[in-house]
Amino acid sequence: MNLLLDEIARATARLAEAGVASPRADAEELAAFVHGVGRGELHTLPDSAFDARFWEGVARREAGEPLQHITGRAYFRYLELTVGPGVFVPRPETEVVAGWAIDRLREMDVADPVVVDLGTGSAAIALSIAQEVPQARVHAVELDDDAHRHAAKNIADLDARGQVTLHRGDLGSALPELNGRVDLVVSNPPYIPMSEWEYVPVDVREHDPAPALWGGGDDGLDAVRAVERTARRLLRPGGFVAVEHSDLQGAPVYWIFAEEHGWRDVRNRRDLTDRDRYVTARLTTSME
């Protein structure tokens, strides 16, 4: 029996008992991180290589600390990002939002499309667009100091500073110099109402930064309303917007992008679990 695999099995049982949603995957990821190998290489390690620090990581995960805070890394589409306390950990559902934005950019008859990512956090969306649409010029906006620091590090680590420009600013007043010149605006803004506080998982509300969670207003959608106003200001006629929301907010977010504000083709789109996840819309031209 391989000692490490045996310890991973024990750790899996402990994490499952603690209520961790993906106990085996988390145990393997912790083991790979501690031992400096990929998950597919764990079975190749000799017993003599076992590092007891693995159990320190298991205890932290068992206590509710996010896996990504323990390892300091998160995976998003084709990227490995640096994350930690003070920055929102990117979720798989946001990959679908980024994918839609990437598909639209590839379809555009624009040589060098201009993109704005409002509330960039770790810069996951901005960097995915930069990687997968090399001709795009991406402006990433972040107000929070800790999140801005993580975004700056990820942009530097991935050598994307020539393609992604990081701005410190509020998503409601960002980038007036780009008014009417942007091809696509994308955002995963805060959108949880404070009335839902007790229903938010403890590990989320205790470890993800508050500015990335609570959206403001009775319905939690004040930040989304700010994104709508900013997108309307920044986009050229015919430009697109994509905004993430919770699986219960599809209808109210749909109506934020009202026709009287110039929006057309407003659609509620679903994530990989077939739940409402984001709204997309197109800004009309003056001729419509």
How far, in Å, CA of 162 to CA of 156, rounded?
10
Spatial distance between the Cα atoms of 63 and 76, rounded to a whole number of angstroms = 25
Dist CA 87 CA 98 (whole Å): 18
Nearest to 116 by CA among 129, 133, 103, 132: 129
Q: Tokens 């693995």 correspond to what residue?
A: 54
Amino acid 31 reads: A
**What does the chain come to in residues?**
288
Long-range own/partner contacts, residues 108-111 (CB < 8 A, 24 or more apart)? 108/183, 108/184, 110/183, 111/135
Phi–psi pair at 28, nearest 5 degrees: -65, -40
CB-based contacts of 120: which residues, under 8 Å, 6+ apart?
A: 126, 140, 141, 142, 147, 151, 166
CA of residue 271 relative to chain centroid, distance: 14
Q: Which residues are annotated as a binding site for substrate?
A: 188-191
Whose tokens are 């640096």? That residue is 82
Residue 94 φ/ψ, nearest 5 degrees: -70, -20
Q: Which residues are annotated as a binding site?
A: 142, 188-191
Collapsed DSSP state (helix, strand, coil) of residue 240: strand
Longest dimension (CA), the chain: 72
Token pair, residue 275, equals 């739940």
Annotated binding-site positions for S-adenosyl-L-methionine = 142, 188
